[in-house]
Homo-oligomer: A and B are copies of this chain.
């Protein structure tokens, strides 16, 4: 049996109330009593039961984090910052990998509600999740429009797309192809595509429907060189896709950057360590994390002054050797 507050009280010869007071530093306690209680806590190696506390307080200090997969440099970097900042706020993070599946995401969202999380950060979205519609539940989204009442944090996707494509044009590309994830209006990342379409005369976008399967991505890219052998520039909507482009180019003996220039998107630390030659658009990942947590905390604490529904942070072109 776990040691509980009552055991501490008995050993210290005081009432449970007094022990609670010492634990929470509330009300008046004589130094003598405090000492007795503290000694008892040490002696019994007592840890307060936060579940019981949460039940009473109706506050768990849990935050749910829903993302497609943590095994992706962008999300793992984002998650690292989010968890770190949350921990400064006293929040604990429950990790949920939806794998992009509606059923999984739905059941995670419901699980989080049953566990009484104080709020959720959602970086993934499949339509039709009722749980997100509850206006009482504090949620912030990253790069996804969940509902009109849920604030969205993200970087300047249009500007990122513009910087990428303009750079390809500036370095002489004539036939630029864009590769993106599934076409989906619910995410502002589609603005990367929009910028591309606005800047290029005859835009051609290839859609990747299974981002989790690198072989499928490679097959699509091979198809591109088959369909459009004149391609001399690729703007990939994330760095992993860009990496696969480089892989396929090498396999087809296409020289990068001489014959083909490639720009990726995200600019994580992991990619800059493993693939330092990649030219990419760097998102301000730490800022996104910080902004999301601060915003969520404001909603939870009901201290929101700024009711902005979409926060857009600046991006940066990082020039390296692939473009």
Contacts and interface: CB of A to CB of B under 8 A. Distances in A.
Interface in A64-87: 65, 69-73, 76-77, 79-80, 83-84, 87
B243 A273 contact: yes
Interface string A236-247: 000110011001
A38 interface: no
Closest 9 pairs between A and B when the two form their complex, measured CB to CB: A274-B274, A71-B80, A76-B76, A50-B114, A95-B95, A274-B275, A71-B76, A71-B77, A243-B274
A214 interface: yes
Given A273-B244, A276-B247, A83 B95 contact: yes
Interface secondary structure of A, over-half rule: helix
Interface of A: 2, 45, 47-52, 54-55, 58, 60, 65, 69-73, 76-77, 79-80, 83-84, 87, 92-97, 99, 104, 108, 110-111, 113-116, 130, 134, 136, 214, 239-240, 243-244, 247, 269-271, 273-276
Contacts of A239: 274
A115 B69 contact: no
B80 A92 contact: no
Given A51-B54, A70-B83, A95-B79, A270 B270 contact: yes
A108 B90 CA distance: 11
Contact of A94 (B2, B94, B274): B94
Contact of A115 (B92, B96, B247): B92
A51 B87 CA distance: 21
B111 A92 contact: yes
B275 A51 contact: no
Contact of A48 (B51, B114, B136): B114
Contacts of A214: 269, 273
B76 A70 contact: yes
Contacts of A52: 55
Contacts of A108: 87
Contacts of A47: 110, 113-114
Contacts of A274: 239-240, 243, 270-271, 274-275
A55 B56 CA distance: 11
A79 B70 contact: yes
Nearest to A107: B87
Given A83-B70, A273-B214, A50 B115 contact: yes
A305 B214 CA distance: 40
A52 B2 CA distance: 18
Contact of A51 (B97, B116, B273): B116
Given A55-B52, A95-B83, A115-B51, A73 B110 contact: no
